[in-house]
């Protein structure tokens, strides 16, 4: 079992601390997903850690536990269009802000994984490698990761041939090769270089609904 680093000390007292993390900054397609979590100190959750250090089965086990035992949690996102309009950094900050403001309880302080924080109406602090150091951030990373992974599995059904369900949109050799052959889809981020190159070189792939069968197919538009 992986364990969290213990070199981070939470503020003393009865402050409500929200942990915030994101998933999906690097992929070529899909939304960037964020989560904010306020843990209940009276209902600890064993095994919290950076979502990347947990296997899929363990993340799926922890997902409902976090939702059940946390004092408050909220999953938010910034869509592909927002990423292309704002850039990935500002879109991520927007999604993090949405996650915090979506909490049913207002936290006294917010700890954000990484080296910067979104603009918030309460004190906030960035924590480098916070998903492995602060339990609330670890919990947020798990919620965001599971939510986004599930969404990418669904998008695989709408846009077959790209391997989205497997690589979750990251620029793997398989994904880059599919972009060259099939072209970009509406869920691809136009502001990312490999997608721009695919758009310049080839067709656009869209989803075609098949009303008679209730299924969906893919049509390539030159």
Q: Cα(118)–Cα(139) distance, rounded to whole angstroms?
A: 19
Domains and CATH numbers, the chain: 17-154 (3.30.420.10), 157-221 (no CATH)
- Tens of pLDDT along the chain (222 residues) come to 334 444 455 555 679 999 999 999 999 999 999 999 999 999 999 989 877 889 999 999 999 999 999 999 999 999 999 999 999 999 999 999 999 999 999 999 999 999 999 999 999 999 999 999 999 999 999 999 999 999 999 999 999 999 999 999 999 999 999 999 999 999 999 999 999 998 887 656 665 443 223 333 333 333
Q: Give the tokens for residue 67.
A: 């939702």
Q: Could you tell me if 111 and 17 are in contact, meaning their C-beta atoms sit under 8 angstroms apart?
A: yes
DSSP per-residue letters across 78-130: E-HHHHHHH-HHHHHHHHHHHHHHT-SS--SEEEEESS-----SS-EEEETTG
Q: Is 40 annotated as a binding residue?
A: no
CB 190 within 8 A of CB 196: yes
| Residue 113 labeled ligand binder | yes
Cross-strand pairs, 72: 38
Say what the pTM is. 0.86
Pairing of strands 72-78, 32-38: antiparallel
Q: 């916070």: which residue's tokens?
A: 130
Token pair in block for residue 165 = 């369900």
Flag whether 22 is marked binding: yes
> Using alpha carbons only, how large is the chain's radius of gyration in Å?
19
């Amino acid at each position: 079992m992986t364990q969290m680093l213990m070199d981070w000390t939470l503020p003393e007292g009865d402050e409500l601390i929200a942990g915030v993390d994101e998933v999906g900054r690097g992929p070529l397609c899909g939304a960037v997903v964020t989560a904010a979590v306020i843990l209940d100190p009276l209902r600890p959750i064993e095994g919290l850690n950076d979502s990347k250090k947990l296997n899929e089965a363990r993340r799926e086990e922890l997902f409902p536990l976090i939702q059940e035992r946390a004092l408050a949690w909220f999953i938010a996102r910034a869509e592909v269009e927002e990423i292309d309009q704002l850039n990935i950094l500002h879109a991520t900050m927007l999604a993090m802000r949405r996650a915090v403001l979506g909490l049913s309880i207002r936290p006294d302080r917010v700890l954000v994984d990484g080296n910067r924080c979104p603009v918030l109406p309460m004190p906030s602090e960035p924590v480098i490698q916070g998903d492995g150091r602060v339990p609330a951030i670890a919990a947020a990373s798990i919620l965001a990761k599971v939510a986004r992974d599930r969404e990418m599995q669904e998008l695989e059904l709408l846009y077959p041939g790209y391997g989205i369900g497997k690589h979750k949109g990251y620029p793997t050799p398989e994904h880059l090769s599919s972009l060259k052959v099939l072209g970009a889809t509406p869920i691809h981020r136009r502001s990312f270089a490999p997608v721009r190159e695919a758009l310049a070189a080839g067709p656009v792939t869209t989803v075609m609904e098949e009303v008679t069968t209730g299924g969906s197919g893919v049509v390539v538009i030159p």
